[in-house]
Amino acid sequence: MELAGETSVEIDSETYLIKLIHYLKSEKGKIFIKYAASSVITTVMTVVITFVTYDFMRIGSARLCNLIASVISIPPSYWLNRKWAWGKSGRGHLFREVIPFWVIALSGLAISTFAVAYAAKLGQHLTKSRHIVTLFVSATNLATYGVLWILRFFLLNKYLFKEHPEVLKIGGSDE
């Protein structure tokens, strides 16, 4: 009995793996891989800037350092996602792409800023070591953006960087 159940699980796992490989080879899968790579680049950038500004430069609170790091990372994130991941060329449409991208990014920033401020306060109660608190703040920042990552992919893929045939039909450009 157990052997049959295990075989069934293996077949399901194998089927899932095959479907995943096919998805990653598809056009949407290639976009997802580039989106993931773009996210890794900008996340590392944000975490490093937060770490440096909070721990070494001591510019201010965890909130302020997270704000600085995130705002610095938004333009590279937009460019990597729009141009590289979704392969869009030309100038971005202000109301269909640029402003919504900033709204999504700033919403994530608000959530992560709240999270890192809470993490800093909690960390300071748990330890006197600024380095450990900084690592805790950085890990919280990373975890928060990780949670928002899937939602952001859905929004970018479904709404922001999709083709806009209504603009093309009217004869307008992507600007």
Q: How confident is the model at residue 106 (pLDDT cuts 50, 70, 90)?
A: very high
Residue 151's pLDDT is 86
| pLDDT at residue 171 tops 70 | no
Burial class (CB in 10 A: 0-12, 13-18, 19+), 43: middle
Contacts of 68 (CB under 8 A, 6+ apart): 49, 50, 53, 59
> What tokens appear for 81 in the block?
């996602």
Residue 175 has pLDDT above 70, yes or no: no
Q: Average pLDDT of 131-149? A: 87
Residue 2: pLDDT band with limits 50, 70, 90: very low
Taking the CA atoms of 73, 78, 83 and 84 in sequence, report the sign of the dihedral they define.
positive
17 vs 10, 11, 13, 21, 94, CA distance in Å?
Answer: 10, 10, 6, 6, 39
pTM of the model: 0.70
Residue 4 has pLDDT above 60, yes or no: no
- Residue 163: predicted pLDDT: 66
- The domain ranges of the chain are 30-170
Digit-coded pLDDT (tens) for 32-58: 999 999 999 998 998 899 889 988 999
Q: Which two tokens stand for residue 102?
A: 């900033």
Q: Are 27 and 78 in contact (CB under 8 A)?
A: no
- pLDDT score of 65 more than 50: yes
